[in-house]
Structure formats: structure tokens, C-alpha cells
Homo-oligomer: A and B are copies of this chain.
Amino acid sequence: MSAAHRVVIIGGGFGGLYAAKSLGRSPVSVTLIDRRNFHLFQPLLYQVATGALSPGEIASPLRYVLRKHRNTQVLLGEVVDLDVEKRRVILRDGEAPYDDLIVATGATHHYFGNEQWAPIAPGLKTIEDATAIRRRVLSAFEQAERETDPQKRRAYLSFVIAGGGPTGVELAGALGEIARDTLRHDFRHINPAEAQIILVEGENRMLPLFPPDLSAKAEKQLVGLGVLPRTGARVTNVDEDGVTVKIGDKEDRILARTVLWAAGVRASSLGKVLAERAAAPLDKAGRVLVEPDLSVPGHPEIHVIGDLANFVHQGGKPLPGVAPVAMQEGRYVARLIGKKLRGKPVAPFHYFNKGNLATIGRNRAVAEFGRLHLWGFVAWFLWVFVHLMYLVEFENRLLVLVEWVYNYITRNRGARLITYGQP
């Protein structure tokens, strides 16, 4: 084994995991490095944040998923640097030599220079983010129940979500359902349905990556759940009491004790390391501008995939930071490494767009398949089907199906626990 071609993959998200799976039967030695011991099915993370699913139901232990690949080892560790001359990944407590390197470390929140907003307006990327948001949202209703001052109570019952992309829309829709349905009979002093849920988006429509007609459908479906959409509105300040938004020239103050951030992402810090060590060109968001074969210019042995990559060789617009892109890129790089070893040529990466889905709530979603645009129940049903199919373990599919069927019938969300940090 030690003589085998060594492939190191950094990151066990969709890109890294699909690359590792595709390399499972190749004559190479694979090392998958991640800081966490599990793959997280991020498209459903907002359901953990809103109490519909438990963390374990959308996470799969990486070792378990890859247990049958005898050529693959999983390494729990944090990458701090790269030595591209000696082809070594530097970990906090060790190193891993490579012949081919796949960097798939994704993206994190971006506050556009206002990092001080982070503790007030948390984003949603990790399990810990999700349980923290869940705690905030549920605690806000609890505090409203005990608050006697009407104005303070109003602030507890006001929720602002910054960012009208898929995550923001999903969070806003789920909050609408929590306020109107889930908590309907739970309180004695407040009416949760009076909660204000405000979704703020800078562009002039929600879901700007979707066609305009579907944006309009999405907005209508949000309004139906009691969400107030504010488009063309930029968040200019966030503090403990609420947010300030600018619409045109007018500044507006919204009093709200809960602010969630879904407005921007920035590439992971490994982008900077690649820029320094391998002279990789970066875009504004810190993503690596990759070659047509997803490699770093001048470094055919370093491949960048997923949210960390900016791939623009197909029509001019960079590919979006979604799971299908990362999955296809992971599979492509695995195939490329196999062909390279056999001395065969490789065609440039080509993304096959199967369509786009975004959900808003129960029976509410939008779907785009080229010129076919769907919304409402049909789009929602497709969304449910696709997400169940792509969940990584069969066990998780069963568990999520049970939760969803049950939630669909009762409108309950069973995982709405307020939990705290470790003792």
C-alpha cells in the first residue's frame, strides 16, 4: 500500500466525500482529512435549526460511510498549512504526504467586514450553529411568554432573517410554520401567530438565482406563511435590539431580539493558503479560480472542488455553491486521477444541471428544470423525494421519513429542545 499513489482529500462535505467514494475501487491510497468525524447533509441543516430533525438524523460518521474502502483511511485533524514543494499537508499535530491533493473545505459565513455582528446574528453552517439558532428561536417565544411589557414582548416575537437565498427562504418559511402551527396550543399568555418574521434581501426579488417568475411564486408562498418579505433592502447595522435596513435612501429600524444571518458566504481559509503557497488566483469571495479540469493553475496535482472553487468555464457565470456541483466535481476529479495514472487524456469538467429546488414550507416550494417551472405541492413533493434519496445513509432516510410523515400529519416538530453548551 505504501508504494501506491497517495491521494489526500481535505474536507468530508459533498465534494470530498463523493471524491473519496469514487476512489474507493481505484489502485490508490486515499486519506480523507476532516475536523469533524461526520459528513453533514447541509441542505437539511435548517430543519435542525427549526426543531424538525435531530442532528444525528442528517449526519453520517465518515468512518462508517467509508468502512468498506480498504484503501481509504479517515483522519480526524485540522489542516493548518500546505507544503506544495514537498507535497505535504501540514496538520496541527502531524502531516500527510500526497501525490494528488483534493481541497474541498467549502465556505463559511460572511459579514462583509462586520464580523462584530456574528455573535448577535448567527449563520447556519455547523451542527453547533443549528442547535444555537434553535435555542435562540425557542427561547425568544419562552421569554415573550413571561414578558409583561408589550413593547419588549413584541421585540421577542420579532425575527429578522438577512438574506433571501435558499437558506434564508427556508428559515423564514420554517419560522412561519412554527409560529402559526407548531406552537399554536403551547402558550397561555402570548399568541405565537402574532410573531413578525421579516426576510430581508438586497436584490429586488427573493431567490435571485431562480427565474423571476419563481421568485414571485416564492414570495407569494412566504406571505401565505405570514412572512414579511423586504426586497431591495440592505442591512446596515445589527445590534442586541434589532437591525437597521436601508431601502433606497431610507433607513428603517426593526426591533427584534432574534436575527439570523443567511446573507453571504466566504470561501474557507484554505483558499488563502493556496494563494500563498501555490499562487492560486482568488475571486472576491476568496474562492480559487480553477482551470477547466478543476486544478490550480500551474499545479495539476492540486484540485479544488465544491464551494471553495470558482469554475467559470461554462457560459461565464461561476457555478453556484450547491451540493450537486460539489458532488459532480468530486466524481470528476476522482475519474481524472484514475485516467491520469493510466496515461489517458481527460476532457474538461462539465456541469450537468439537473435542475434547482428551493422549499418554503409544507406543500410550498419552487422548482426549475430548464424551461419547466413548478411550484406549490408538486415542487414540494419533488423536493422531499430528492432530499430523501440523497441522504447518505439508508437509516437516516428512514428516520427523516418518519419525522416528516409525522410532522406532516400533526404539524408538530418533535426536536424543539433548548440545549446548551457542554457542561
Q: Is the CB of A67 within 8 A of B414?
A: no
**Minimum Cβ distance to chain B for residue A54 (Å):** 4
**Minimum Cβ distance to chain B for residue A29 (Å):** 10
Q: Does A198 contact B (CB under 8 A)?
A: no
List the one stretch of A123-131, A226-234, A260-268, A279-287 in contact with chain B. Answer: A123-131
Q: Is the CB of A417 within 8 A of B64?
A: no
Residue of B nearest to A76 (CB): B142
Q: Does A36 contact B (CB under 8 A)?
A: yes
Q: Does A37 contact B (CB under 8 A)?
A: yes
Q: Is the CB of B421 within 8 A of A395?
A: no
Q: Does A188 contact B (CB under 8 A)?
A: yes
Q: Does A138 contact B (CB under 8 A)?
A: yes
Q: Does A22 contact B (CB under 8 A)?
A: no
Interface size range of chain A in the complex: 35 or more
Q: Given the known inter-chain contacts A138-B37, A142-B37, please indicate yes or no for A63 contacting B187, CB distance below 8 A.
A: yes
**Minimum Cβ distance to chain B for residue A216 (Å):** 36
Which residues of chain A (377-423) have a CB below 8 Å from chain B? Answer: 393, 395-396, 398-399, 402-403, 406, 410, 412, 414-423
For A423, give its contact among B57, B129, B183, B189 (CB under 8 Å).
B129
Contact partners of A403 in chain B: CB under 8 A: 395, 399
Contact partners of A410 in chain B: CB under 8 A: 395
CA A414 – CA B64 in complex, angstroms?
9
Which residues of chain A (172-189) have a CB below 8 Å from chain B? Answer: 183, 185-189
Copies of this chain assembled into the complex: 2
Most chain B CB within 10 A, of A38, A54, A132, is at A54
Contact partners of A421 in chain B: CB under 8 A: 128, 420-422
Q: Is the CB of A417 within 8 A of B186?
A: no
CA A398 – CA B59 in complex, angstroms?
19
Q: Is the CB of B67 within 8 A of A186?
A: yes
Q: Does A246 contact B (CB under 8 A)?
A: no
Contact partners of A129 in chain B: CB under 8 A: 423
Residue of B nearest to A407 (CB): B395
Q: Is the CB of A412 within 8 A of B59?
A: no
Contact partners of A61 in chain B: CB under 8 A: 186, 414, 416-417
Can you show 9 pairs from A to B with CB atoms below 8 A apart?
A36-B417, A37-B138, A38-B418, A54-B56, A61-B414, A63-B187, A126-B423, A396-B414, A399-B402
